[in-house]
């Protein structure tokens, strides 16, 4: 990876795009080469900028002052944002490639990825401005507009689109891209909703064993985990390249799913549990309360599936409990990341309650209690894949703990490898 080359390319794309696009189009490259040689570095800028602005600098709240996001939550958001950038760039490239014939352009997946990656340079780099309080929205708008301009300029070179059709090609691609990014944000956002913080491991708190002779990171360190992730991404990229050359649509779709699985750390594509598989884990009664509502569904987008079962339990009085069981599917790699080598820990106490995340018996646990309303939440992660959470009104947090314990957690754990398709 040549950092100087990446900086030079980014500067040229921003300052002299008309001269740079023909050079970009003529360069031989591969999906893996584009990721390792450009995307993996530049796409990290927004995640880093957002982390700095929200966690280290703080967000200005009118009349209240600056609010800083907790370190663990900030790192979690940064990792998810980075993963989203990696996945989203590839998926938008697939859309640009698929739209090519409709606008008289030539289908070429590598060229499409070039187009999306280098056009996105403006949005990625502009996010640096967002570090300055109050300029985040302005930076996003400016970067987005300039990226659309770059996309319009680049399509005739990379995709060989007739110049007169470039505006239409750009408009449709931009609209579809916005929709794709929105869907991906919902999918990845469901992981953030689990309340998992990624702590001292990735932030460098655990310094011992940083490297050893031979240039590799010592086993068990954060560096070793990131190094293993990089290798999986490289291998997955090679599979995508091979599938593209084969011309087999089935092989290409499977390779994309494998790459997304590698990106989110699951080791490959994962088919989440079908509704009839997750439904039996939702009991008819919970802590003496009858089930009054049940919803089970499985949704998927872009090779990532998530299954979720939600249920409500109540009586004729004020007692009410909500149960949610989530199979994170291909996103289980991020759960394992948090509950395994990331060293998750959170402990906040107030005059009226507490909110903490910790590990117990090898499982990641999150509990929250508000003594004013006698309400709270208790959840555990099972098998680095399934999240089981109970919330609502209760006599104490022990009642919520007992409710979670009454779920067949061992049965869920036994299904942790169900539907896993390793690379």
> Where along the chain do its domains lie?
3-192, 275-422
Give yes or no for residue 85 having a pLDDT over 90.
no
Beta-sheet pairing, 363-370 with 346-350? unpaired
Structure confidence at residue 399 (pLDDT): 92
Give yes or no for residue 254 having a pLDDT over 80.
no
Q: Assign residue 304 a region: left if phi > 0, alpha if psi is -120 to 50, beta otherwise? A: beta
Structure confidence at residue 338 (pLDDT): 44
Higher-pLDDT residue of 114 and 363 is 114
Chain segment 382-395, per-residue pLDDT in tens: 887 888 999 998 88
Give yes or no for residue 22 having a pLDDT over 90.
yes
User: Which has the closest alpha carbon to 195: 330, 331, 51, 355?
Assistant: 355
Give yes or no for residue 205 having a pLDDT over 50.
no
Do 313 and 287 contact (CB within 8 A), yes or no? yes
Higher-pLDDT residue of 221 and 6 is 6
Higher-pLDDT residue of 380 and 234 is 380
Higher-pLDDT residue of 232 and 147 is 147
Q: State the average pLDDT for the chain.
A: 75
Give yes or no for residue 198 having a pLDDT over 80.
no
Q: Which tokens sit at 333?
A: 């790699």
* Mean pLDDT score, 185-212: 39
CA distances from 230 to 35, 184, 207, 234, 406 (A): 10, 21, 20, 6, 40
Give yes or no for residue 405 having a pLDDT over 90.
yes
**Lowest mean pLDDT, pick from 103-112, 130-139, 149-158, 323-332:** 130-139
Q: Which tokens sit at 52?
A: 């700095």
Structure confidence at residue 55 (pLDDT): 62
């Amino acid at each position: 990876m040549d950092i100087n080359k990446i900086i030079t390319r980014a500067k040229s794309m921003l300052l002299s795009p008309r001269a740079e696009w023909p050079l970009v189009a003529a360069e031989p490259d591969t999906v893996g080469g584009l990721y390792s040689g450009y995307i993996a570095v530049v796409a990290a800028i927004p995640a880093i900028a957002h982390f700095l602005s929200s966690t280290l600098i703080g967000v200005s709240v009118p009349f209240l002052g600056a609010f800083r996001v907790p370190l663990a939550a900030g790192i979690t958001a940064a990792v998810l944002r980075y993963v989203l950038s990696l996945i989203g760039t590839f998926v938008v490239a697939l859309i640009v490639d698929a739209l090519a014939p409709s606008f008289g352009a030539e289908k070429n997946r590598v060229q499409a990825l070039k187009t999306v990656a280098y056009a996105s340079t403006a949005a990625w780099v502009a996010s640096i401005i967002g570090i300055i309080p109050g300029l985040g929205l302005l930076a996003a708008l400016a970067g987005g507009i300039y990226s659309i301009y770059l996309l319009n300029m680049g399509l005739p070179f990379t995709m060989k689109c007739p110049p007169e059709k470039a505006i239409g090609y750009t408009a449709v691609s931009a609209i579809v891209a916005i929709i794709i990014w929105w869907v991906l944000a919902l999918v990845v956002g469901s992981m953030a909703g689990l309340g998992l913080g990624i702590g001292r491991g990735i932030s460098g708190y655990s310094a011992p064993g940083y490297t050893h002779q031979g240039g590799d990171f010592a086993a068990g360190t954060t560096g070793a985990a990131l190094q293993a992730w990089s290798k999986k991404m490289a291998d997955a990229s090679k599979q995508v390249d091979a599938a593209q050359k084969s011309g087999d649509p089935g092989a290409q779709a499977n390779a994309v799913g494998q790459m997304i699985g590698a990106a989110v750390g699951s080791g490959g594509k994962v088919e989440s549990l079908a509704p009839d598989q997750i439904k039996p884990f939702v009991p008819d009664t919970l802590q003496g309360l009858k089930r009054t509502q049940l919803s089970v569904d499985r949704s998927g987008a872009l090779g990532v599936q998530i299954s979720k079962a939600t249920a409500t339990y109540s009586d004729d009085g004020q007692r009410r409990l909500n149960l949610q069981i989530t199979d994170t599917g291909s996103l289980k790699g991020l759960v394992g990341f948090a509950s395994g080598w990331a060293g998750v820990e959170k402990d906040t106490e107030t005059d009226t309650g507490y909110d903490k995340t910790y590990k117990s018996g090898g499982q990641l646990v999150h509990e929250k209690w508000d003594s004013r309303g006698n309400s709270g939440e208790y959840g555990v992660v099972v098998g680095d894949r399934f999240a089981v959470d109970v919330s609502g009104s209760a006599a104490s947090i022990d009642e919520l703990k007992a409710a979670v314990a009454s779920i067949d957690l061992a049965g869920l754990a036994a299904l942790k490898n169900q539907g896993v398709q390793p690379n």
